[in-house]
Structure 1
Amino acid sequence: MGMTMTQKILAAHAGLESVEAGQLIDAKLDLVLGNDVTTPVAITEFNKIGCGTVFDRTKIAIVPDHFTPNKDIKAAEQAKIVREFARQHDIENYFEVGCMGIEHALLPEKGLVIAGDVVIGADSHTCTYGALGAFSTGVGSTDMAAGMASGTAWFKVPSAIKFVLKNKLSGWASGKDVILHIIGMIGVDGALYQSMEFTGEGVSSIDMDGRFTIANMAIEAGAKNGIFPVDEQTLAYIKEHSARTPKIYEADPDAVYERVIEIDLAKIEPTIAFPHLPSNTKTIGEAKGLKIDQVVIGSCTNGRIEDLRIAAKILKGRKVSRDVRCIIFPATQKIYLQAVREGLAEVFVEAGVAFSTPTCGPCLGGHMGILAKGERALATTNRNFVGRMGHPESEVYLSNPAVAAASAVTGVITDPAELLA
């Protein structure tokens, strides 16, 4: 029986010739990730194990990004615990405020994840790295602790859904719209503990930023991971960011899939997820005109340089509506600096945007953009659950950066094609 791409990676890391869906395995890890929220819990569990030191100080990454820069005393105490642990164990890939970024944008940028890796992270959006042809998935803090101690993790091998992407995106549609369209189609549990494997000639038309966005939100369909084939774009990205040699795995021709779903990219429109689930989607034509109070552009989903360029293209020479607060968060310090050098930061500030340091803050309702009762936000983030950005009676709508920027100008959800007509 043939194996999927994910199954081949897991088999190799488990030292097995083959694996099949449902099989329990113990696999070697190439990287273990934690942040300022999940790592303190993992540290407590790690200390209980009593092994003395981490399995490999070069294969652990700790990124304080959720409540940093510290929003209050509790956040500062958590960051202190993480900082002291990183120093004690000489963690090579510890990224403090000033050189940090949002973890799932920072790790690929630093070349810490490449094709063929197995990565666990105590954060659900660790599945982002599937864009590079890696198996990556979120785990709990206890599993993170065990991973730091042993360099291994156990998995139940997932079955898979094959998404065949055809043609290419057009207009203002992006990778964000592809994944919102898919989640709207299959539901938030439509890929429960399965691998979402993206294939087809349409893959080549989606840039790496778009692929990161799609893989990032695989978890919003309940998936164990999302993964893309390794092509020339992938290899070019890896070569630019890492000195390591990628390991390329391809699905067998006779690999078994639970379902095969074809997606015609040419038919994808800008898509909005309405409260309170990412699956509650409507096209821009159905959504436009809804009044909003806040726009957030950024996060591990859409805070990369191409996202900022798109926002700047729409905001240049325009002003944010007086009725809207617009906040833009570059995903890393490198992206922030690039935005400054390209003149994007100037465009944002002149338009009336709050242009901020990298942080996860507003995405999870942590700080820097909290919503009051009855307020609506349109965000390029990945979740819009009840109370996600603040008050439980506030509302979060999800969109791509172009729609978000256009809506910031008008004060209502807006089709960017109409604003620029």
Structure 2
Amino acid sequence: MTITEKILAAHCGKDHVVPGELITTKLDCLLANDVSGPIAVREFYKMGFKEVFDNERVYLVNDHFTPNATINAATQSKANRDFARDCKIKNFFDVGKMGIEHALLPEQGLVLPGDILIGGDSHTCTYGALGAFSTGMGSTDVAVGMGTGEIWIKVPHTKKFIFSGSCPEYVTGKDFILYIIGKIGVDGALYMAMEFAGQAISELSMDSRFTICNMAIEAGAKNGIIAPDEKTIEYVNEHNRTGRKYTVYESDPDAEYAAVYEWDASQLQPLVACPHLPSNVKPAREIKDVRIDQSIIGSCTNGRLEDLRAAASVLKGNKVASNVRTIVIPATQEIYRQAVNEGLVDIFLDAGAAVSTPTCGPCFGGHMGILAAGERTVSTTNRNFVGRMGHPTSEVYLSGAYVAAASAVAGKIADPKEVL
């Protein structure tokens, strides 16, 4: 079996599962935010539940609309606060303690290798970087999971993506996943597991691995996953505060795959997904004279410390272009603190950028960076659909932190080598 099949089999009490099989599986943990949570809570009570299956394994994070900018946003957040109080949720994260959920949970050690986690957010596939099976589901499914600790799943087929060699300078996990999506398309792994392997993957940091798995959904995948190695175990042991034991799984040598792709990472370069699909990928250096109005460095995809360090390495000693609003959003309070301690925030401020408390705000057009008609942004977020970050005539260019920072300085889409 593949690593995904092994995790699912272990959680449904079977020795073996096959792709296409419908199973009912136990959950290790469950996640909801201030968009999906209130809907799930309403359905939870409609189904007759009065308490969650485990108040230490249900995680609530107010991150999308926080800090609240409107009455409706405040109402959403309050619904989660009330539910957390009534059901005695131990892991509820709000303003001042919260972070962007998919960066916060690994940092807090709340997801472990071999776990099954579902979340009311499509980018829940992020935790595959820890060797867990994690996937996004609708709020009704989340409500069922909250009440029963179980969910039904169709076992996905798996596609394997192998990168040999070592990645060049200025290339990070964002470029790996953009490259893949550019090759297979936004439906190239529809309801499949995307398994990432090879020398180049093993050399990547955990931050870059989280980025790769985070955007598996942008290829239509059910989940993304990377088998745990020494780097994973070191990260998990450093952060695990639950005391839970975990199981490391890896794919069998004779596991069957729907397809296997092999590429040389040494040929990668900083990439940009142009409007209006994550698959419309081009090398940054080949995009000429695309002026931008805004640069966003943050999100559950690229708001980690590695990303802030990358951006700071470009911005240090430079100024952002006068016509470019540059917003840096550390993904968690701890990342924010580390950025302060390392002097990264000073670099951002000296360059003319704004630094925000953790929030998902601009990524989905909620607040903290909405675009007006005709405006363009380069963003380290994960989606660039029509109207994703504001007005339907605005444009979103997706990139990693190096390109986003270089573009802020140049005033147009730029490869980092153009400004360094």
Shift, 1:250, TM fit? 1.1
TM-score under structure 2 normalisation? 0.99
Cα distance in 2 for partners of 1:230, 1:165 equals 16
Cα distance in 2 for partners of 1:324, 1:244 equals 46
Cα distance in 2 for partners of 1:285, 1:50 equals 57
Paired position in structure 2 for 1:43: 41
Residue 131 in 1 paired to residue 129 in 2? yes
Shift, 1:51, TM fit? 2.4
**What does the per-residue CA deviation read over 1:164-221, in whole Å, with 9 as the maximum and x for residues that have no partner?**
1101111211110000000000000000000000112222211101100000000000
- Which one-letter code corresponds to 2:67 in the other structure? P
| Structure 2 residue matching 1:363: 3-state secondary structure | helix
Residue 118 in 1 paired to residue 116 in 2? yes
- Written as runs of structure 1 = structure 2, the 5 A alignment for 1:86-101 is 86-101=84-99
| Structure 1: stretches of 5+ with no match in the other structure | none
- Which one-letter code corresponds to 1:100 in the other structure? M
**What does the per-residue CA deviation read over 1:7-52, in whole Å, with 9 as the maximum and x for residues that have no partner?**
0000000010000000000011011100001110001100011121
Paired position in structure 2 for 1:144: 142
| Structure 2 residue matching 1:348: 3-state secondary structure | helix
Residue 266 in 1 paired to residue 286 in 2? no
Cα distance in 2 for partners of 1:105, 1:185 equals 27
TM-score under structure 1 normalisation? 0.98
- Written as runs of structure 1 = structure 2, the 5 A alignment for 1:24-35 is 24-35=22-33
Paired position in structure 2 for 1:161: 159
Which of 71, 74, 81 is the equivalent residue of 1:73? 71
Q: Would the alpha carbon gap of residues 141 and 383 (structure 1) be closer, same or farther in structure 2, given more than 3 Å must change?
A: same
**What does the per-residue CA deviation read over 1:338-382, in whole Å, with 9 as the maximum and x for residues that have no partner?**
101111111111111110000000000000100000000000000
Paired position in structure 1 for 2:254: 254
| Structure 2 residue matching 1:33: 3-state secondary structure | strand
| Seq. identity, % | 61
**8 Å contact kept, 1:288–1:415:** no
Paired position in structure 2 for 1:207: 205
| Structure 2 residue matching 1:393: 3-state secondary structure | coil
Identify which range, 248-257 or 223-232, moves more after superposition: 248-257
Cα distance in 2 for partners of 1:5, 1:201 equals 18
**8 Å contact kept, 2:30–2:142:** yes
- Written as runs of structure 1 = structure 2, the 5 A alignment for 1:6-405 is 6-242=4-240, 243-405=243-405
**8 Å contact kept, 2:406–2:418:** no
- Which one-letter code corresponds to 1:293 in the other structure? D
How many residues get paired?
418
- Which one-letter code corresponds to 1:28 in the other structure? K
Cα distance in 2 for partners of 1:261, 1:288 equals 30
Cα distance in 2 for partners of 1:304, 1:194 equals 27
Cα distance in 1 for partners of 2:47, 2:223 equals 28
Cα distance in 1 for partners of 2:177, 2:39 equals 31
Cα distance in 2 for partners of 1:199, 1:415 equals 27
Cα distance in 1 for partners of 2:245, 2:313 equals 36
Cα distance in 1 for partners of 2:244, 2:304 equals 23
- Which one-letter code corresponds to 1:189 in the other structure? D
Shift, 1:288, TM fit? 4.0
Any runs of at least 4 consecutive aligned residues in structure 1 with deviations exceeding 6 A, and if so which? none
